[in-house]
């Protein structure tokens, strides 16, 4: 059922049928080709997008990426009809119950990590209510899946407000180490700290190469790394082991990767 919803929304609303063979590691990668044209009346079905991969078609792809980011920001409730929303909501609740509240627990953990930051792509820091310490918590998703379906999954799994579209990366072609390197460059600074949460060997090895703490999670019952159950306090322990005390540090959290 999830696969049907994902593919239908990808094709009907996020240009996946057109861009399936043009997977990019993140939406802004084509931004240099975007001339900021008004896309209000733009006909994506008649602009001739396709091979070859010349500057004209790169611009057309950039248009699609901009439109995807706009739709992502608006959310599925502004895209889908009521019947589809009802079906999606019922499927979400059934899946959440069947998986021992995996969906809601993951969202709760990420919300706690990003408390005070509603625009996760922003560089503006927020003040922690516990004191005068300044923090910026940023949740970033690095997935082994292709970009457009991964963005749609974020929306379907009710994580659209947790992961800004600019903070979703696809390692499909480039690998997770390359994605981590881009993220480190993007959020470079003397007091920036990273923490990787994941269930796969690739993100574990990439985190080790970057010298970032890695928190392993496992959805299987009775697992030592069982999730749900992970809390910001747990993450703080892993971070302090690698970075030491973090009372006056900005912390960028690299959120669960791999699926």
Binding-site positions read 199
How far is the C-alpha of 16 from the C-alpha of 154, rounded, in Å? 15
- Burial class, 106, CB count within 10 angstroms (exposed 0-12 / middle 13-18 / buried 19+): buried
Report residue 127: phi and psi, to 5°: -95, 130
- Measured CA to CA in angstroms, residue 109 lies from 69, 80, 191, 196, 233 at distances of 24, 27, 23, 14, 10
Q: Is there a contact between 163 and 147 (Cβ–Cβ < 8 Å)?
A: no
Number of other CB atoms surrounding residue 203 within 10 Å: 27
Sign of CA dihedral 201, 160, 231, 236: positive
Question: In a 3-state reduction of DSSP, which class is residue 226?
Answer: strand
Binding-site entries for Mg(2+):
199
Report residue 99: phi and psi, to 5°: -95, 20
């Amino acid at each position: 059922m999830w696969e049907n919803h994902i593919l239908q929304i990808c094709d009907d609303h996020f240009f996946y049928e057109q861009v399936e063979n043009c997977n990019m590691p993140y939406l802004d990668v084509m931004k240099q080709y975007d001339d900021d044209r008004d896309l209000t009346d733009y006909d994506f079905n008649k602009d001739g997008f396709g091979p070859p991969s010349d500057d004209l078609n790169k611009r057309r792809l950039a248009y699609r990426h901009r439109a995807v980011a706009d739709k992502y920001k608006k959310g599925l409730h502004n895209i889908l009809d009521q019947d589809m929303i009802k079906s999606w909501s019922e499927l979400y609740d059934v899946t959440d119950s069947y998986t021992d509240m995996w969906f809601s627990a993951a969202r709760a953990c990420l919300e706690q990590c990003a408390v005070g930051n509603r625009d996760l792509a922003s560089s503006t820091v927020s003040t922690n209510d516990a004191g005068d310490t300044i923090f910026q918590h940023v949740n970033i998703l690095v997935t082994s899946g292709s970009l457009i379906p991964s963005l749609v999954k974020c929306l379907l799994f009710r994580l659209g407000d947790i992961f800004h579209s600019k903070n979703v990366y696809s390692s499909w072609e480039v690998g997770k180490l390359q994605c981590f390197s881009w993220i480190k460059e993007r959020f470079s600074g003397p007091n920036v700290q990273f923490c990787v949460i994941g269930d796969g060997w690739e993100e574990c090895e990439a985190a080790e190469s970057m010298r970032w703490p890695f928190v392993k999670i496992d959805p299987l019952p009775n697992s030592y790394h069982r999730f749900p159950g992970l809390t910001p306090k747990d993450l703080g322990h892993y971070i302090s082991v690698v970075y030491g005390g973090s009372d006056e540090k900005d912390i960028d959290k690299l959120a669960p990767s791999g699926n």
